[in-house]
Amino acid sequence: MEALRENEAEEKEEEKKAFKIGDELQDLEEKLSKIQVHIPNIHEFDWSSVDTSQLPASYKINSAKEKMMLHIAANFRRQYTHLCPDRKELFLHPLNECGVEKFVSTTVRPTLLPYPELYNWDGCARFVSDYLTMEPLPNPIEPPSSLFSPTTIVKYQRGNCFDFSMLLCSLLIGVGYDAYCVYGYATREICMMDETREVCPLLKKSKEAQKETVKEKTEKYAVKPPRDLRSKFELQQAAKKEAEIQVAKQKKQEEEEERIMEAEKPKPDSLYGLRVHAWVLVLSGKREVPESFFIDPFTAKSYSTTDGHFLGIEALWNHVNYWVNMQSCLNGCKDLIFDLGNPLRWEFMLLGADKPLLLLPNEEEEEELADEDLDTLDKEEEEKGSDMPPSWVDPIQISLKEFETRCPQGKKVIHYKKAKLEKWAPYLNSNGLVERLTVFEDQDCTKVLEVTQWFKNREDLLEMRQVNKITEVTTEYFGPGHALGLKAHVYKSMNPETERTMEFYNETRVDGLRKRVENAHEMTEYFAGRSDFLYYRHTNFGKRTKRAQILVANPDANARPIMQIKECFHRNLEKPANEDVAERIFMISEERILLTYHLQENYITASKREFIKRADVDNKGNKIIMTPDMCLNYQVGSSQEDKKLIHLYKMMLKLMEEEKRLKHQVWESGTEVLEILKIREEEEGASKLTVSIYDTERNEKGKKQREAMERQMQEERQRQDEQDLDYLAPFIIQMGNTEKMTKWQALRLKEDCLTDFKYRLIDKANIIQLRFEKETQELQKKQQWYQQNQLSMTVEDEEAYIAYCSDAMFRIRILEMRLSRHKETAPQKYIALEEKLCKDPRLSEYLKLYA
Amino acid sequence: MNRIYDTIEPNVIDQEMLQKAVEEQGPQEEAGQLAKREGIDFKDVTELQLDFRNILKIDNLWQFANLTKLQLDNNIIEKIEALDSLVHLVWLDLSFNNIETIEGLHALVKLQDLSLYNNRISKIENMDTLQELQIFSIGNNNLTSLENVVYLRKFSKLRTLNLAGNPLCDNEQYSMFIAAHLPDLVYLDFRLVDENTRELAEIKYQYAIDELKQGEAQALAKLEEEQAKQKELDYHKAAYVEYLNGPFLFESMYAEDAEANKLAYLPGMPDLLETYRNKFESVCEKLFAYGLEQYEKRQAEVSTFYKCLQEALAANQEQGRKIILDFENQNVGLLEVVQDMSSFDMAETKLAKYNNDITQLSDTLMMLEMQTVDQLEEIIKDFERNIADLVSTFIENVQGMMAQCRDLENHHHEKLLEISINTLEKIVKSEFEEEIPDDVRMLFVDKDTIVNAVNASHDIHLLKIDNREDDIITKANSWQAVVIEEVHKNEIARNRSRVKEINQYIDHLQEELDNLESLEPVE
């Protein structure tokens, strides 16, 4: 490409000269035409280089049963070609990676993988579509000549539609779906995995939200609306006019849409209806699937069985059988009926294997069978009816890492209509980016409208960021647990006092703040769940005075002057409505405070109270505390002004106190915003990722700990090995010269060792005997003493004596048993030691000779 | 205690004393000046202190309707009285007085803190209504009986108790007894009741306490049962079919009927009576079930009506509110602007327009109200008609069922008459062999007597049935009248208050405008 660009540049330069020198132009053109640029082909994977040497034997040879199966298949094919000569050849036993013919049903390997995401069909389909890279069929109108095992496909992470379907089918059957591989025909978009004409599924708005069930309950005593006194005719005319305008508008819109549609329409496909494709059919019944549907393995999308993208079916198979479609596909797949038990519609290959949707054989129908040959075919089948041999493919294995990484190299790009979706594996990007959706304004994807990014495992809990390129507005969404309960942040720039909206998790905040909307002149805060029923606070700021601007050094003094604070409250049912403030406005600049109370039941006007703060000194120099005209009242329901001045005065004092508090609150809000902005900036700069403690791969600390433990274990084991007693060591030391031993010395060594052991054994026996005797003696003594003092004994002493006796007897018996066992085992131990010594590497060579 | 009346002049609570106390204890400083200028209403006072004033008799406190704290300590009060109007009282201090009995406190249901320290009380009593009581001080009195303290068990919120200085404290079991019998008590005689003592006490008095508890539990269960029964009965009464789900009516027919009891001795009577009774009861049951069903229907009708009414009113309120808000938003700051306006003419035209707007607002609101009145009138008429229908159907059916009862009675009467006459004939012919009491035999002297007796019984029965029927019908009719009247009354009240509100609001607006206009020429 660069070469081309250079050439073009050159060309431009040359052109200037060319204007001057006319005849050189031709020469140049000639020269230029000689220069040709080849865009290098994208490295194509060479399947012939697949390493087959490591594959097990079942991949390389056919078992007897498989051979039998192939034989049946060949027979089936023969009959089929005979009966339906005009149909395409069946896809029955393609070659596998080792060049061996294998029957397609045995290539399906039902597997259950240990990932919960893969338990449902959509998870499986998404995994397969992400995990493999799509390759078009070598010949778009013929099925491939070979079909590799799913394990090989998984290993190399690429494949054509047949490979995709086989893998997906294996997974789906593994988790219990009634799934089939389908071989048939589809449109170019499906076959080439071309989604540029599809609207991105992420952009499809959920239409459920629009559904609003407005149930007009016509109650018995509902009031009738007041009579409409307008002229019916005029209304009619107006409605007519309105309708006309509407129609015109609609027409225009339709035309516009049509034009766009026309522009977007794909070029006609010359191979329409001939393109071979393979996909997956899931039949209803198992796993609570209510209705049969297709899954396109490339895009992981589900289609109804009547979808227009699928143009026909040749055959379908799963791990137990193979069915050929006998229905007409003139209308695409719209008229197909998937009752695989019906031999009229679906010609099966193996009888006896379980037939889904088995229908009772209808006598009449069978008689009606015009085609005698089909009957005979059936019979032959019955005779030969044999089970499908087990799959020759190894179980599919996908490691956790591979599963997480998903796409090859962990990255995948999908183009949609006016949109581009990029996917990454988690932890691949250092900022935690896992998905990015770019929405374009035009079909050619040049003008970016909006970029949406999804993040995972970020320390700052950022989950999604949306940047609107036109309005320059950035929206960030955070998971619960962010500092100060931040939930979402909408902004244009990170500078303070500019337009921004912050949403919070109000449940986690003490002040119940839900949302804060800000711009240069005002700040609005929304609250929820507060005990003082406050739900709204609006602050108006004035312009900074110039003097304040000079004092930039002290940012606190540079606060914007507050002009007005307005607060709204929900109704507090504990207070009477007339005393429950609904709204209060502190007009700080005008020194006024306005209170509006809640509406009383069935009242349409609310009580109001206005306080006017006046100078504290009247014209005579007396201090004015409170005068009636400082408070303007409108009291609903009662005409007399029953409130005394003293109450109003108290109320005003309280309100002034409140005003001070509010000013402080506003200031605090401002500083909180600054703090959040600071935190955000820091976080954005650091962009750390968190690792779950359950993630054994990435949890560095845990890994280290585990490794340390393992190392420790190993050391322990080593030490134990070392500690295995070396019987000979002391004797060898005695001998001194260990390097070279004579035979005699070796014998001597052995003898010494054995005698020593013998003595030890005897000693042990002696010790036991000694103890035995001691115990018996003591017991006898005690007995004597008892007999002597029997009469003068207290009951307690006697009890103690009896307890001692039984204890002593127990000990004696134990000693006796120990002695007898020792006598028994001692010779055995002696022999064992001798054998061990004979085998000892240091002695064996000498002793062998001796033996 | 040792006050001598001769040396100390007893005082009376009078206006002067109260005024002084209120002023002294009222707001201070600036607010105080303000208060002084305006004067303080006694009903605004929440706390009052009248100590060391030698008051002999509590009086003249009725004006302090909102009092929450009253201190009358260190006086010479002899009787608790005249406190009935101080229902908001939370704290009452009557310590250091000469009170001998606890009384006159039953109205103070919010009382939490009561001090009767240093008086001459010998028994705790008359406090059943003070369920909020938390702190009770009755030290230095003449309480002698420990058993009397058990009375305090009924105050479930009582946490602090002071009994020190009473003769009963000399009892060595004193603290144990209290700890055992008042398990929720936290402080006794200014000291924390420690766990140890409580455990010991519990073990010691286990049986006594268990007995007490059982008694209390039984009383509670009984009360609950009674309440449940009463509730059901109230429900039946509301449906006008109380005591119809059983033999009550039948029994009441025979309760006052002396003749019938005598006639019951006749041969064949028990069987006849039994079948009659069964049939009668089944009709009553039917009536009962029907009554309940109809009651539910009526209730449903009323609640639907009120629901719709509420909805309509809410919609109307919304509409009115919107009109007013629109008006206010339109004219916000108008007066200020006009005030600052330089050109007098411009201001004048603005004001004229505002004036106009006010009039228009008034018209709009009034029109809305008229419309609402019309709408409501319509649905109220519907409602009235439906209720009348319901009640009349109910009455008709009740009458029908009562007629069945009457038929049964007539039938029974005929049978009875027949038996009686047969018996009479037998007796006359001396063929009657069964034993019957003498007073019954007395009836069979001649035909007139027996027929009269039977007829008398029949009349009593019919009268009972008639009465019951009348009762149901009157009640149903009066219910109808009450419901309808209430609806009308509410509607009229609503209309009045709305019209008044609109007028008041318009007046308020006008007044604002007038104030401005009166200012204008001056400026």
Query: Is position A1 within any domain?
Result: no
User: Where does the pLDDT of residue A20 fall: very low under 50, low under 70, confident under 90, or very high at 90 and above?
Assistant: low
Lowest mean pLDDT among A431-435, B125-129, B436-440: B436-440
Residues A708 and A834 in one domain: no
Q: DSSP state, A231? A: -
Q: Which residue of B has its CA nearest to A627?
A: B34
Euclidean distance between the first and final Cα of chain A, in Å?
A: 85
When computed from its CA atoms, the radius of gyration of chain A, rounded to whole angstroms, is 46
Query: B11-226 in CATH: which number?
Result: 3.80.10.10
| DSSP reduced 3-state for B150 | helix
What is the Cα–Cα distance from B383 to B375, expressed in whole angstroms? 13
Lowest mean pLDDT among A116-120, B166-170, B188-192, B265-269: B265-269
Among A227, A568, A602, A644, most B C-beta atoms within 10 A, so best to mutate, is: A602
Q: DSSP state, A689? A: B
Lowest mean pLDDT among B87-101, B113-127, B499-513: B499-513
| DSSP reduced 3-state for B313 | helix
Q: Which residue of A has its CA nearest to B375?
A: A223
Residues A540 and A593 in one domain: yes
Does position A135 have pLDDT exceeding 60, yes or no? yes
What is the Cα–Cα distance from A487 to A506, expressed in whole angstroms? 9
What is the Cα–Cα distance from A541 to A152, expressed in whole angstroms? 68
Quote the pLDDT of residue B481: 93
- Tell me the shortest Cα–Cα distance from A519 to chain B, in angstroms: 24
Contact A625 B30 (CB under 8 A): yes
Residues A718 and A790 in one domain: no
Q: DSSP state, B289? A: H
What is the Cα–Cα distance from A607 to A603, expressed in whole angstroms? 10
Looking at every residue in chain A, the average pLDDT score rounds to 79
Q: Which residue has the higher pLDDT, A99 or A504?
A: A504
So where are chain B's domains?
11-226, 259-518
Percent over 70 (pLDDT), chain A: 81
Report chain B residues whose CB lies below 8 A from the CB of A640.
none
What is the Cα–Cα distance from B261 to B457, expressed in whole angstroms? 9
Lowest mean pLDDT among A385-394, A552-561, A792-801, B36-45: A552-561
Does position A527 have pLDDT exceeding 80, yes or no? yes
Lowest mean pLDDT among A458-472, B229-243, B336-350: B336-350
Does position B330 have pLDDT exceeding 90, yes or no? no
Q: At which residue do the structure tokens 């005209």 appear?
A: A629
Contact A221 B308 (CB under 8 A): yes
Residues A678 and A699 in one domain: no
Query: Is position A15 within any domain?
Result: no
The upper half-sphere exposure of residue A107, i.e. CA atoms within 13 Å in the direction of its Cβ, equals 32
Query: Is position A783 within any domain?
Result: yes
Quote the pLDDT of residue A707: 86
Residues A524 and A670 in one domain: yes
Percent over 90 (pLDDT), chain A: 6
Contact B31 A639 (CB under 8 A): no
Query: Is position A148 within any domain?
Result: yes
- Tell me the shortest Cα–Cα distance from A580 to chain B, in angstroms: 18
User: Where does the pLDDT of residue A450 fall: very low under 50, low under 70, confident under 90, or very high at 90 and above?
Assistant: confident
Q: DSSP state, A617? A: B
Contact A605 B324 (CB under 8 A): yes
- Tell me the shortest Cα–Cα distance from B305 to chain A, in angstroms: 6
Within 10 Å of residue A418's Cβ, how many Cβ atoms? 20
Burial A650-687 (b: 16+ CB within 10 A, else e): ebbeebeebbeebbebbeebbeebeebbeebeebeeeb
Quote the pLDDT of residue A848: 61
Contact B311 A222 (CB under 8 A): yes
Q: Which residue has the higher pLDDT, A675 or A365?
A: A675
Query: Is position A385 within any domain?
Result: no
User: Where does the pLDDT of residue A643 fall: very low under 50, low under 70, confident under 90, or very high at 90 and above?
Assistant: low
Quote the pLDDT of residue A217: 56
A423 and A434 Cβ atoms separated by less than 8 Å: yes
Query: Is position A451 within any domain?
Result: no
Query: Is position A241 within any domain?
Result: no
| Contact A636/B at CB under 8 A | yes
| Contact B307/A at CB under 8 A | yes
Q: DSSP state, B100? A: -
| Contact B91/A at CB under 8 A | no
* Average pLDDT of the segment spanning A48-65: 81
| DSSP reduced 3-state for A621 | coil
Number of H helices, E strands in chain A: 20, 25
Report chain A residues whose CB lies below 8 A from the CB of B311.
219, 222
pLDDT tens per residue, range B304-317: 899 888 888 888 88
Among the partner residues A226, A644, A646, nearest to B371 by beta-carbon distance: A226
Q: At which residue do the structure tokens 């010609």 appear?
A: A347
pLDDT tens per residue, range A266-278: 677 777 878 888 9
Quote the pLDDT of residue A594: 86
Residues A661 and A773 in one domain: no
Does position B174 have pLDDT exceeding 50, yes or no? yes
Spatial CB neighbours of A401, under 8 Å, sequence gap ≥ 6: A697
Lowest mean pLDDT among A382-391, B100-109, B354-363: A382-391
Q: Which residue has the higher pLDDT, A318 or A221?
A: A318
Q: Which residue of B has its CA nearest to A605?
A: B321
What is the Cα–Cα distance from B331 to B356, expressed in whole angstroms? 12
What is the Cα–Cα distance from B475 to B395, expressed in whole angstroms? 10
| DSSP reduced 3-state for A27 | helix
Q: Residue A523: beta bridge partners?
A: A518, A539
- The three state secondary structure string of B215-228 is HHHHHHHHHHHHHH
Residues A81 and A170 in one domain: yes
Quote the pLDDT of residue A378: 44
Residues A578 and A666 in one domain: yes
φ/ψ of residue B97, rounded to 5: -135, -170
Q: Which residue has the higher pLDDT, A182 or A551?
A: A182
Residues A496 and A529 in one domain: yes
Among B66, B308, B326, most A C-beta atoms within 10 A, so best to mutate, is: B308
Number of domains in chain A: 4
What is the Cα–Cα distance from B465 to B402, expressed in whole angstroms? 7
Interface list for A 680-699 with B (CB within 8 A): none
Q: What is the CATH number of the domain that holds A66?
A: 3.10.620.30
Contact B34 A645 (CB under 8 A): yes
Residues A738 and A679 in one domain: no
Quote the pLDDT of residue A291: 86
Q: Which two tokens stand for residue A650?
A: 């108290």
User: Where does the pLDDT of residue A694 fall: very low under 50, low under 70, confident under 90, or very high at 90 and above?
Assistant: confident
Quote the pLDDT of residue A364: 42
What is the Cα–Cα distance from A345 to A328, expressed in whole angstroms? 9
Residues A754 and A609 in one domain: no
Does position A301 have pLDDT exceeding 80, yes or no? yes
Could you tell me the residue range of the domain that residue A173 belongs to?
Answer: 57-200+269-348
pLDDT tens per residue, range A413-432: 888 888 888 888 888 788 88
Q: Which residue has the higher pLDDT, A105 or A543?
A: A105
Contact B41 A626 (CB under 8 A): no
Residues A598 and A488 in one domain: yes
Interface ipTM: 0.72
User: Where does the pLDDT of residue A548 fall: very low under 50, low under 70, confident under 90, or very high at 90 and above?
Assistant: very low
Quote the pLDDT of residue B474: 92
- Tell me the shortest Cα–Cα distance from B517 to chain A, in angstroms: 17
Q: Which two tokens stand for residue A327?
A: 């229905």
* Average pLDDT of the segment spanning A372-382: 43
- Tell me the shortest Cα–Cα distance from B497 to chain A, in angstroms: 8
Contact A219 B304 (CB under 8 A): yes
Interface list for B 316-355 with A (CB within 8 A): 317, 320-321, 323-324
Among the partner residues B35, B41, B317, nearest to A602 by beta-carbon distance: B317
Query: Is position A358 within any domain?
Result: no
Q: Which two tokens stand for residue A189?
A: 């978009």
Q: Which residue has the higher pLDDT, B188 or A4?
A: B188
Quote the pLDDT of residue A624: 55
Sheet architecture: strand order including A276-283: A301-304, A293-296, A276-283, A178-186, A310-317, A322-325, A346-348
Looking at every residue in chain B, the average pLDDT score rounds to 86
Among B29, B44, B323, B379, most A C-beta atoms within 10 A, so best to mutate, is: B379
User: Where does the pLDDT of residue A27 fall: very low under 50, low under 70, confident under 90, or very high at 90 and above?
Assistant: low
